[in-house]
Structure formats: C-alpha cells, structure tokens
Amino acid sequence: MSKYRQLQQAYQQQQLIDVIMRATNDIYTGKVCQLNPHHVLMQVYNDYGLLNGYVIVTIRAIALVNTSSGDLQRIKQRIFLAQEQKLLGAPPLILPHFSDQDLLTAVLQYLCKQRQVALFVGITQYHYQQAQIINVKAKQLQLSLLDFFDFSDKEVVRTFLQSQLEAVEFGGQELEQATSFFALQPQHTLPVIVKANQYLETLLKPLLGSSTLLMVYVNISHNNFYVGQVINVTADTVVLSLVDQDGRFGGYALIRLDAIKFVSAQTDYLKMINVYRTWHQKAHTFVQPVLNDQMKFSVTDFWQNTFEQLTQLQLIIRIQLRQLDTDFLAYSVAAKATSVQLAIFDDLQAGTTQIHEFKYQDLERVAFGYLNSYFTKTELIK
C-alpha cells in the first residue's frame, strides 16, 4: 500500500499514527487533518501526550507510516495520563480549512499572514531552521531567519524553493511562544560566559535564593548545557532547579563543580527563557501538577540526605558517572553515608533492573523530577 493510501486511510478512520522521516529520522505522532497526493497536514502530540501544534509533511520525504507499534501504544497511554492528570499544554491552535489542491502553499500563506514562527525542515544542510515567512510565491518562499541563541542578525532574509521543504512545524508551545517573543523585537545582548575555575563555588553562592537563571555547560562544545537557578551549593556540587525550553519547571540537576566547563548568566537564549518563565509564573502554569518544585536539599550530609529523599519518593533518576561517557536510568534503593544502591534499568522495554552500589564521589551528574521522568516511572515501576 502506498504511503498516500496509508495516510488517506488513517484520515478516514481518524487513527493515531507515526510518520517517520527519511532524512532526519524524526517521528511525528498525531492525526491527519488534511492531505493531497503530495503533502499531509497533521495535528501532533509531544512526548508527554500533549497536543503540540501541527506539521505539514512532504509525502516523498516519509520513510514509514506506522499505524500500530509499541511507541504508539506508549503515546496513547501518555495521552490518557496527561488528560487524567490535567497536565498543562499550549492552548490549541484552531486552523482554517485549507485548499486541498495546493495544501502546502495555502499553509505557508497562512503562516506568512499570521507572522508565525515555524520550524522548517530540509531547507539547509543542518536540516532545521526557525524562521518567519516574509513572502510566498508559487514555487518559492522568503524566510526571515531566526536564531534563538543570537539576536544580533536582524532581518536575515533568504529565498528557498518550496520543493526543498520536507516538513514545517508550527503552532506548538515553543513556536507559539517564540512568535509572541519575537514580536517584542528583543535586542541582542553581548554574552558573558565565564570559564570554570577554582572560584566557582564563591561565584555561585551569592545566587542562592535569587531568581537569576544560569546556563551551565558541561562540555567544551557548548551543545550540552543546563538552564536553571541555583538552590544549593556545597564545596563540590551545585543544585539547579531547572527551566525547560518552554519556560516551565524542568526538575533538578546535581552537578559536580569540577564537571562544569563554563557558566553564563547573560545570553540571548537566557533572556528568552526568562521571559517565558515570567509568562508561565503569571499564568500559574509554571509547574506541571505532577511535579514538585519545592524540594529541599540539606547542606550537611548532602548526598545521603538527597538520596534518602529519592529512595522514599522512588523517583526515576538519570545518572552520569565520572568514568563513563554514557548515562543511565535508575532509581535509588538504599542510601548510606558514603554510597548508594541503585536499581539500574538494563532493559527499558522489559523494565528489568540490576542492583549496583556506587560511592557518591563517583557520581558526576544526577537529574530527576522532570516531566518525562514522571511518565517513565509510571511505565517502568509497577
């Protein structure tokens, strides 16, 4: 059966489906809203089972259409949980009915008129580009490119062929917030990035109790960082209350000071996330109802006290050891004075674990209390 026929059938039956992209391996999970032989418009869900806007996909760029899989079943369960727990999502975007004959052009013209920020897939060698549409022609479109990390480039306009597009994402939480944010015409701020040194503890302690957001980099390539505010500092560890890319509470991270490469409290990206956080705090949507942003961390017996809490709450944690390049999922079984027993998941599909004991001094990073870990707990710990 052709992919178009599969999509047509899914549309007629209003099935939840996975669309897997050929070049990027991205997976779009959702339901078909409209389609023609060349393009399909879907309303999609994120990994938390929450509606997250739309995507229009070029059918020739699709590798596979799934109507039944383990991943789909997992998302269905998460959709049910999200509704049951009344999780906070973006207000649904109501679209007009577009012309089926030239669906892509109609969607692009709508995005242009609304000045919406969208994610364009396939038009550059990096595949992904956030932009606003300036003009739409029969075979071309002009984009004003956006960089969420650098606002210094104003009105960088490029012309692309519509035929280059593999997908266009729009209307989800992050992109809708970006639309509102860039309408404010934010000004570029020169970044201030401090290389970690022996005075890092002294630098971080004055931030205790403040709302200042930091970017904490844990490798030299600048592509692996945490965003959060400092809620505890010991002689060798900092605890961050994290903020995710949507500006909501994103759990906690315990990071060894000697694992930190750079710290910044002033970047364009931080400016944007800080605005998002303010919006959510004012709307009382900052913390998902299943999460706890009020955990306390003792300064004395810090590691034992923290893992005693994690053991009691049986939270899923993501652990990075000093001597390993990979991290793993686990939960705490027993906390001792200098070590902890962890049940490490060795088979996520089966949910099986192996018990290992680690000294606290061997733990480099620990993350927990974020939304995905809540779902993972419901799926792995029965």
SS3 220: coil
- Mean pLDDT for all residues in the chain: 93
Q: In degrees to the nearest 10, what's the CA dihedral of 272, 276, 281, 284?
A: 180
Q: Is the pLDDT of residue 153 over 80?
A: no
Q: What does the block give as tokens for 239?
A: 């605890």
What confidence category does residue 68 fall into, taking pLDDT thresholds of 50, 70 and 90? confident
SS3 234: coil
User: Please, where are the H alpha helices in the chain?
Assistant: 3-13, 70-84, 103-114, 173-182, 200-204, 268-283, 302-313, 371-380
Predicted structure pTM score: 0.93
Cross-sheet strand order for the sheet of 140-145: 62-66, 17-21, 27-35, 39-45, 51-58, 167-170, 117-121, 128-136, 140-145, 156-161
Cross-sheet strand order for the sheet of 262-266: 192-195, 262-266, 214-217, 225-233, 237-243, 249-256, 363-368, 316-321, 327-335, 339-347, 352-359
Q: Is the pLDDT of residue 286 over 80?
A: yes
pLDDT digits (tens, 9 = 90+) for 203-256: 999 999 899 999 999 976 566 799 999 999 999 999 999 999 999 999 999 999
What's the CA angle centered on 333, arms 327 and 339, to 5 degrees?
Answer: 70
What confidence category does residue 31 fall into, taking pLDDT thresholds of 50, 70 and 90? very high
Q: Is the pLDDT of residue 86 over 70?
A: yes
**Bridge partners (DSSP) listed for residue 41:** 34, 56
Q: Is the pLDDT of residue 381 over 90?
A: no
